Amino acid sequence: MRQFKPMQQDRSVTDRIIAQVREEIKTLEQRVADLKAGKVFPQTVRVSHAPKAEPVPYKDAPEWAQRDGVRTAIFQTESRIRAGEHFCRDMGALVDACHGQPLREVVVNSARFYTARVL
């Protein structure tokens, strides 16, 4: 496993993750636009809200289920976009606040933190 420097010393990993999430947001925004324009459709939709009901292919579903499936796909994708935007905002603020700050020394005063249980 690769070890990275803490963000107080190196913000490049955090900045790269934020950039990747922003690119994903652009892709998701295009998907929402395509769903709204009728260019793309969900692969499957639910025709029953019973717990064990299997989704059916979009083309085989009744019209009401197709409309509901598109609305659901739009809602879920927009929700994912909002989560990504919040993640980028919060991680950006965190790295701005932490980068360049000194590392904090943590004193462990109990040996129990150093013991490992071997089975």
For 7-27, what is each residue's pLDDT tens digit?
Answer: 999 999 999 999 999 999 999
Q: CA 73, CA 80: separation in Å to the nearest integer?
A: 11
Task: Give Cα separations from 95 to 15, 27, 42, 100 (angstroms).
Answer: 8, 25, 37, 9
Question: What is this structure's pTM?
Answer: 0.80
Task: Please answer whether residues 32 and 78 qualify as being in contact, where contact means their C-beta atoms are separated by less than 8 angstroms.
Answer: yes
Q: CA 42, CA 63: separation in Å to the nearest integer?
A: 13
Average pLDDT of 76-97?
97
